[in-house]
């Protein structure tokens, strides 16, 4: 994998292997997604331990979200007994019931099936990955003594194979992404949040996505702290020209606007502006227009009455969204003008009130 050691150390096979931790609440997930030429989208995870409070290190489960061109959804979450699961500590070889993911950084085969829904996909790397230098070194430095780790395995990949939708098999071709996250405490409780990107328990609204055009790929996660956090901008972008990382910035912010509560009862934006202000590295704006909300999870539904009252009073209404969006990006990356237009999808982690 070509990269730039100033920005990221080289990934190794063990980065995508299991890193078991005896601390209660520790967890890992292997994540993948893809947008296909026929308008379908898929996002899925293999879980070792549960990232959601309360802590459950024994949980072994899969999640699959399949979205049709019109935004219709098929969602599966299924837990399997530990004795029906296996995980390699040397390479990515993950088995949860009949579902499996195997690969070597360059190529992955991912199979999931449950009832009338499923997938059988091959990921071939186009653009490599990223891990913060010094973070999650590929040895004994993993949890419990390291911060949360966001390890991007394939920032951009060619994805081919088949989806199963309501029992019907569909051939698909598209562009995908793969990462691996691990943490030694339930999700968001350490302030790490979103795979060690520096978000979470501090009460932030965070947007995560990636765009690409021509030789450029930008993987970004940006937001802004809520009033309680002083509305401080917070974000990161990893910028690739071809297969080389040419810039990484942590001077980014994202602000939602044109707010609505349609369909959810919780505010969500129909437009998002992402701004970078890191002269010499990354500068400029990305204007995002939400074309469809395809996912909503009301995190209050998991809370007890006192927890809901506390959150509403002192934090806000936590929720999770996925949106399809059109983007118009006008950036200057290491002195080069980069203008990209296209369509993608993003996650929105809403930990607090306000934008």
Task: Express each pLDDT in 252-261 by its tens digit.
Answer: 999 999 999 9
Can you read off the two tokens belonging to residue 182?
Answer: 């691990």
At residue 260, the pLDDT reads 95
Residue written as token pair 């006192």 = 306
The rounded average pLDDT for each run of 10 residues, N- to C-terminus, in the chain (355 residues) is: 75 89 84 96 94 80 94 93 95 97 98 95 96 62 62 96 96 97 68 43 76 96 68 84 94 93 92 96 97 85 60 68 97 97 93 64
The residues facing 175 across adjacent strands are 35, 158
CA distances from 55 to 19, 184, 234, 350 (A): 17, 10, 28, 21
At residue 196, the pLDDT reads 42
Handedness of CA 206, 210, 211, 214 (dihedral sign): positive
At residue 10, the pLDDT reads 85
Can you read off the two tokens belonging to residue 181?
Answer: 């996250």
Residues contacting 33, CB < 8 A, separation 6+: 41, 42, 43, 44, 176, 177, 345
**Do you find a cis peptide bond into 95, omega within 30 degrees of 0?**
no
Using CB atoms within 10 Å of the CB of residue 113, give its burial: 0 to 12 exposed, 13 to 18 middle, 19+ buried.
Answer: middle
Specify the pairing of strand 56-67 against strand 73-79: antiparallel
At residue 193, the pLDDT reads 43
Residues 331, 340: Cα–Cα separation, whole Å = 9
CA distances from 102 to 34, 58, 86, 128 (A): 17, 22, 12, 17
Nearest CA-CA partner of 158 in 134, 174, 139, 181? 174
How is the beta sheet containing 336-350 ordered, strand by strand? 244-249, 233-241, 216-225, 204-213, 336-350, 319-333, 282-298, 268-278, 252-260
Residues contacting 223, CB < 8 A, separation 6+: 199, 204, 205, 206, 207, 233, 234, 235, 253, 254, 349
Q: Please name the helix (run of DSSP H) or strand (run of DSSP E) that holds residue 4, with its range, or none.
A: none
The separation between the first and the last C-alpha atoms of the chain, rounded to the nearest angstrom, is: 38
Write down the architecture of domain 11-190 according to CATH.
Answer: Beta Barrel (2.40)
User: What stretch(es) of the chain map to CATH 2.40.370.10?
Assistant: 11-190, 199-355
pTM of the complete model: 0.89
pLDDT digits (tens, 9 = 90+) for 201-231: 444 689 999 999 999 999 999 987 655 555 5
| CATH code for the part of the protein at 199-355 | 2.40.370.10
């Amino acid at each position: 994998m070509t990269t730039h050691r100033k920005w990221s150390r080289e990934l190794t096979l063990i980065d995508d292997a299991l890193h078991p931790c005896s601390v209660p609440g520790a967890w890992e997930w292997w994540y993948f997604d893809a947008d296909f030429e026929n308008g379908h989208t898929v996002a899925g995870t293999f879980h070792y331990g549960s990232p959601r409070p309360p802590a459950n290190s024994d949980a072994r489960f899969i999640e699959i979200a399949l979205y049709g061109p019109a935004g219709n959804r098929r969602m599966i979450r299924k837990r399997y007994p530990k004795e029906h699961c296996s995980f390699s500590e040397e390479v990515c070889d993950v088995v949860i019931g009949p579902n499996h993911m195997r690969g070597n950084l360059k190529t992955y085969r991912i199979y999931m099936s449950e009832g009338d829904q499923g997938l059988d996909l091959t990921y071939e790397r186009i653009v490599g990955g990223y891990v913060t230098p010094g973070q999650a070194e590929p040895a004994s430095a993993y949890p419990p003594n390291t911060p949360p780790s966001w390890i991007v395995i394939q920032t951009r990949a060619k994805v081919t194979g088949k989806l199963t939708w309501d029992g019907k098999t569909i051939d698909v071709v598209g562009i995908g992404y793969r990462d691996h996250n691990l943490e030694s405490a339930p999700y968001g409780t350490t302030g790490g949040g979103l795979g060690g990107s520096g978000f979470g328990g501090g009460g932030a609204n965070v947007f995560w996505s990636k765009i690409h055009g021509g030789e450029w790929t930008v993987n970004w996660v940006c937001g802004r702290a809520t009033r309680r956090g002083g509305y401080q901008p917070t974000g990161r972008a990893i910028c690739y020209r071809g297969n080389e990382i040419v810039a990484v910035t942590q001077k980014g912010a994202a602000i939602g606007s044109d707010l609505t509560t349609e369909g959810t009862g919780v505010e969500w934006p129909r437009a998002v502006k992402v701004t970078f202000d890191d002269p010499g590295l990354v500068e400029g704006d990305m204007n995002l227009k939400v074309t469809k909300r395809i996912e909503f999870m009301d995190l209050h539904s998991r809370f007890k009455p006192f927890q809901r009252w506390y959150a509403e009073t002192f934090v806000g209404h936590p929720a999770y969204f996925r949106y399809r969006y059109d983007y118009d990006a006008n950036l200057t990356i290491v002195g080069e003008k980069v203008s990209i237009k296209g369509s993608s999808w993003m996650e929105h982690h809403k930990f607090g009130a306000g934008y």
